[in-house]
């Protein structure tokens, strides 16, 4: 039985870990008027906020290691995402409780960019390819990093 993979592999493999967390937020731009915020964000500008059951998908791209067959151990990816995003954000108010989101309007678009900054430096094998955050089953944002490379 061979101990190393004999598979040819010119292309990259993409692996994805999905995690869940629950959080509340309010969409509100403090530099704009209440009327502007209500017009722009509708009920999402409610002073008491609202909540979501978020689904976060983190995809890493790379070549499988010839000894393990892994691009990155999915258990390691789970631990990275939990520590970087889930633990600080779960059952929290994204506007008030999260230091790395201070001053950020917590739209799904802004959240994926902020999460990238927390996850990318922790990836030690392969490279972070994309972050997709579902706010609802029908609405999500996806970020491919600062270069936006597929």
Cα 22 versus chain centre, distance: 13
Map out the domains of the chain with their CATH numbers.
13-143 (3.30.479.10)
Which residues participate in catalysis according to the annotation?
Answer: 44, 91, 135
pLDDT in tens, the chain (150 residues): 555 555 555 789 999 999 999 999 999 999 999 999 999 999 999 999 999 999 999 999 999 999 999 999 999 999 999 999 999 999 999 999 999 999 999 999 999 999 999 999 999 999 999 999 999 999 999 999 988 655
- The closest of 57, 36, 30 to 135, measured between CA atoms, is 57
Task: Say if CB 120 and CB 128 are below 8 A apart.
Answer: yes
Q: What is the pLDDT of residue 4?
A: 54
Distance CA 87, CA 23 (A): 11
The predicted-structure confidence for 34-44, as pLDDT tens digits, reads as follows 999 999 999 99
pLDDT of residue 24: 97
pLDDT at 79: 97
Provide the pairing of β-strand 13-25 with 92-93. parallel
């Amino acid at each position: 039985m061979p101990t190393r993979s004999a598979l040819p592999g010119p292309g990259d493999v993409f692996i994805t870990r999905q995690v869940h967390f629950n959080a509340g937020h309010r969409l509100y731009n403090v530099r704009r008027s209440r009327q502007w915020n209500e017009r722009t964000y509708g009920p999402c500008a409610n002073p008491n906020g609202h909540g979501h059951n978020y689904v976060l998908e983190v995809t890493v791209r790379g070549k499988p290691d010839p000894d393990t067959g892994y691009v990155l151990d999915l258990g390691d990816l789970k631990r990275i995402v939990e520590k970087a995003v889930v633990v600080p954000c779960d059952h929290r108010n994204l506007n008030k409780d999260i230091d790395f989101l201070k001053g950020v309007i917590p739209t799904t678009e802004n959240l994926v960019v902020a999460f990238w900054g927390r996850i990318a430096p922790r990836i030690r094998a392969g490279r972070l390819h994309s972050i997709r955050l579902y706010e609802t089953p029908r609405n999500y944002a996806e970020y491919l990093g600062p270069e936006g490379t597929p």
